[in-house]
Chain A
Amino acid sequence: MADESTNQGIPAPEGEADIIDTDYEIGQDNIETQIGPIGVDIHNPVFPVSGFVIVAFVFYALALPDQAATFFNWLRPAVTSTFDWFFFGAADLFVLFCLFLIVSPWGKVRLGGNEATPDYSYIGWFAMLFAAGMGIGLMFYGVSEPMSHFSSSFGGTAVPEGGGARTDWAPLGAAAGDQAEAVRLGMAATIFHWGLHPWAIYAIVALALALFTYNKGLPLTIRSAFYPIFGERVWGWVGHIIDILAVYATLFGLATSLGFGATQANAGLHELFGVPTGATTEVILISVITVIALISVMRGLDGGVKVLSEINMGLAFLLLIFVLIAGPTAVILSGFASSLMAYIEYLPALSNPVGREDVNFSQGWTAFYWAWWISWSPFVGMFIARVSRGRTVREFVICVLLIPSLVCVLWMSVFGGTAIHQVLSDGFTGAQDAALELKLFKMLGELPLAGITSFVGIVLVVVFFVTSSDSGSLVIDTITAGGKVDAPVPQRVFWCIFEGAVAIVLLLGGGLGALQAMVISTGLPFTVVLLLMCWAIFRGLLTEAR
């Protein structure tokens, strides 16, 4: 006879479950068939429509490059300048909502039931938080952004003759001629873009998906978070459109980043090792990254992306410690405290949605960043949700919002602080003058063991690209399989190759910039999606056992 005690794989009862009673069965809309030798299990219509729309947009960008570039390059700034107040207000609300969840009684709710145990250790979990979207950005902007804001702040404000909007790019009222204050403002503005706000955006999406997947029993796909709003209609076209939009933003976001990343990596390799620049090298780079991502994808979540994320976290930590020790240690450490204080001090003014005088900064930098993070949030949020079962809401928000924000403060203080110190104390302007992709390497070049640290830097860039591509393929595969996380492996292989192919086609045919502008524009509809998710989280938590 059956003996329940033998179920050792699931050791203890996992507590009360508040499963949503729906007639929908996961996979009921899926097509499970054999295409040649390959078995597939795909959602109809999300998989075919997403694929078709992506191919159609690639053709549009290639067939009418000027028209596409003109349109999307108009659309992106139009969105961020017209709706800047909306992005600012929404992002502020996400931060406040997350902070509220930490202190609210719902902080005790555990994802997966009140006895559920975490799927991953803290180390593995933290490493994977950075794998999907943030890691690569820290590599490229860790040196460049603090420097940009420091320079523009130090330069002061500029108003055209006869009045009008300011023409400078400095945050807030700048700090003309005041070196110390320009450093503080520059660091505060940088941390603002990489701290609480982006992580709150990711946390909202991740928490909504985790709650409706693990506690409510709905499929792991974006539409599930909308069940409290649309009810059973979420399994129809409303849900299809939400999922297709998420696939579309994720794939184009990844492909355009991969395309631009290859260009930047090529420039870096040229500078460091004299590797020739050009389309051939860039195509080889995209292919190499895609092949490594493919191997990782085929090794699965634990054997692939988790292992790579942990390696990268270890390497990034070593590089951070090295720069801290080899660089101006005392300046960096005092800079960390001072940057954190400056961030807290300037946060209300920087996050103010209305009446801004620093239009270039608030629209060109902040609103751009908010749209960017929001357009990436379905991808990053869903990946975080996938690995976050077993955490309480409080633990989840602290670990996805506060700790990564602090890591970003530390990273920016060490890398940006060192580069700024090189300018101010040593008069070395190499990093300041260099192109974006070279700033990190120029800064490292001034420190000992530059050959080794530059090599580590390149490995970090490549592996962060690989983990982005890998986790992106897993996310797209899950959405296009109707929330099934165990769909056949060839499907995720397909998305991984497809993403590399789109990047290569756009790189060779032109159109990377246009499509990236379009992806960022999707930040606007997704802001509405995220606001609805806040409401859904609230509704979902109300019925949970605390």
Chain B
Amino acid sequence: MFSKIMVPVDLAHAARLDKALQMASDLAHLYQAEVVFVGVTTSQPSSVAHNPQEFAAKLDSFATEQADKRRITASGHAVVSHDPAVDLEATLIEACNNIGAGLIVMASHVPSVRDYLFHAHGGRVAEKAPVSVLVVRET
């Protein structure tokens, strides 16, 4: 049903993603699909990496680690955004189109009052993405 499953990951908070990663892995086994971990970074240094190259390398190691741990086929796909605080959703949807993923599995926080002002990333991606989106609540 899906040949590629896209999983957006925030490498700075990878520990919080466990449920979404497990869900993606289960679906990957079920549909014999490849998991593509998408990480969005900036041109400027961040807490994760000094530059986009280093970020891409770290994302690839993350993908390798997950592939070994969960016995799935996985790869990393790093994308540079000029202003991820605002453009994250648009960047993810563009990445989804470029990858050709058939499903997005995405971790998201529990909705609260702030979502009226500043959208939750998962909700916005689900609203705009051209493919099915599974939003996984982490709490």
**Chain A interfacial positions (CB closer than 8 Å to B):** 1-4, 6-10, 13-14, 17, 19, 25-28, 37-39, 112-113, 119, 213-214, 217-220, 298-304, 386, 389, 483-490, 492
Q: Is B132 an interface residue (CB 8 A)?
A: no
- Contact between chains at B118 and A218 (CB < 8 Å): no
Q: Which of B54, B55, B114 has the most CB of A within 10 A?
A: B114
Count residues on chain B whose CB falls below 8 Å from chain A CBs: 42
- Contact between chains at B52 and A488 (CB < 8 Å): no
- Contact between chains at A2 and B61 (CB < 8 Å): yes
Of all chain A residues, the one with the shortest Cβ separation from B91 is: A9
Of all chain A residues, the one with the shortest Cβ separation from B116 is: A37
- Contact between chains at B78 and A7 (CB < 8 Å): yes
Known pairs A37-B114, A112-B43, A218-B45; A10 contacts B82 (CB<8 A): no
Of all chain A residues, the one with the shortest Cβ separation from B88 is: A486
Chain B residues within an 8 Å CB radius of A7: 56, 59-60, 76-78
Known pairs A6-B76, A37-B114, A485-B42; A217 contacts B82 (CB<8 A): no
Chain A residues within an 8 Å CB radius of B126: none
- Report how far A413 CA is from B1 CA in the complex, Å: 66
- Contact between chains at A9 and B46 (CB < 8 Å): no
- Contact between chains at A26 and B51 (CB < 8 Å): no
- Contact between chains at A14 and B53 (CB < 8 Å): yes
Chain A residues within an 8 Å CB radius of B46: 26-27, 484-486
Nearest-Cβ distance from residue A24 to partner chain B, whole angstroms? 10
A-B Cβ contacts below 8 A, count: 129
Of all chain A residues, the one with the shortest Cβ separation from B10 is: A486
Known pairs A14-B53, A300-B85, A303-B86; A1 contacts B73 (CB<8 A): yes
Among A3, A10, A213, the residue within 8 A (CB) of B53 is A10
- Contact between chains at A2 and B64 (CB < 8 Å): yes
Chain B residues within an 8 Å CB radius of A303: 86-87
Q: Is B139 an interface residue (CB 8 A)?
A: no
- Report how far A218 CA is from B84 CA in the complex, Å: 19
Chain B residues within an 8 Å CB radius of A19: 50-51
Chain A residues within an 8 Å CB radius of B75: 1-3, 6
- Contact between chains at B60 and A17 (CB < 8 Å): no
Beyond A1-B74, A27-B47, A220-B44, 5 extra complex contacts between A and B, CB < 8 Å: A9-B78, A14-B53, A17-B54, A219-B45, A483-B45
Nearest-Cβ distance from residue B128 to partner chain A, whole angstroms? 14
User: Mask for B62-82, Cβ within 8 A of A = 1, else 0?
Assistant: 011001000001111111101
Chain B residues within an 8 Å CB radius of A487: 85
Q: What are 21 A-B contacts with C-beta separation under 8 Å?
A: A1-B64, A2-B67, A2-B74, A2-B76, A6-B75, A6-B99, A7-B76, A7-B78, A9-B52, A9-B79, A13-B53, A19-B51, A26-B45, A37-B113, A119-B43, A214-B43, A298-B86, A300-B85, A304-B86, A485-B85, A486-B83
**Chain B interfacial positions (CB closer than 8 Å to A):** 36, 42-47, 50-56, 59-61, 63-64, 67, 73-80, 82-87, 95, 98-99, 112-114, 117-118
Nearest-Cβ distance from residue A36 to partner chain B, whole angstroms? 8
- Contact between chains at B44 and A386 (CB < 8 Å): yes
- Report how far A217 CA is from B46 CA in the complex, Å: 9
Chain B residues within an 8 Å CB radius of A1: 64, 67, 73-75
- Report how far A125 CA is from B75 CA in the complex, Å: 34
- Report how far A486 CA is from B39 CA in the complex, Å: 13
- Report how far A4 CA is from B57 CA in the complex, Å: 8
Nearest-Cβ distance from residue B59 to partner chain A, whole angstroms? 8
Nearest-Cβ distance from residue A467 to partner chain B, whole angstroms? 15
Of all chain B residues, the one with the shortest Cβ separation from A218 is: B45
Of all chain B residues, the one with the shortest Cβ separation from A388 is: B43
Chain B residues within an 8 Å CB radius of A38: 114
Chain A residues within an 8 Å CB radius of B56: 4, 7, 9-10
Of all chain B residues, the one with the shortest Cβ separation from A304 is: B86
Chain B residues within an 8 Å CB radius of A27: 46-47
Chain A residues within an 8 Å CB radius of B80: 9-10
Chain B residues within an 8 Å CB radius of A14: 51-53
Chain B residues within an 8 Å CB radius of A298: 86
- Contact between chains at A39 and B78 (CB < 8 Å): no
- Report how far A27 CA is from B47 CA in the complex, Å: 6
Nearest-Cβ distance from residue A294 to partner chain B, whole angstroms? 11
Chain B residues within an 8 Å CB radius of A486: 42, 46, 83-85
- Report how far A248 CA is from B82 CA in the complex, Å: 26
Chain A residues within an 8 Å CB radius of B112: 37
Nearest-Cβ distance from residue B72 to partner chain A, whole angstroms? 10
- Contact between chains at B76 and A490 (CB < 8 Å): no
Of all chain B residues, the one with the shortest Cβ separation from A305 is: B83
Chain A residues within an 8 Å CB radius of B74: 1-2
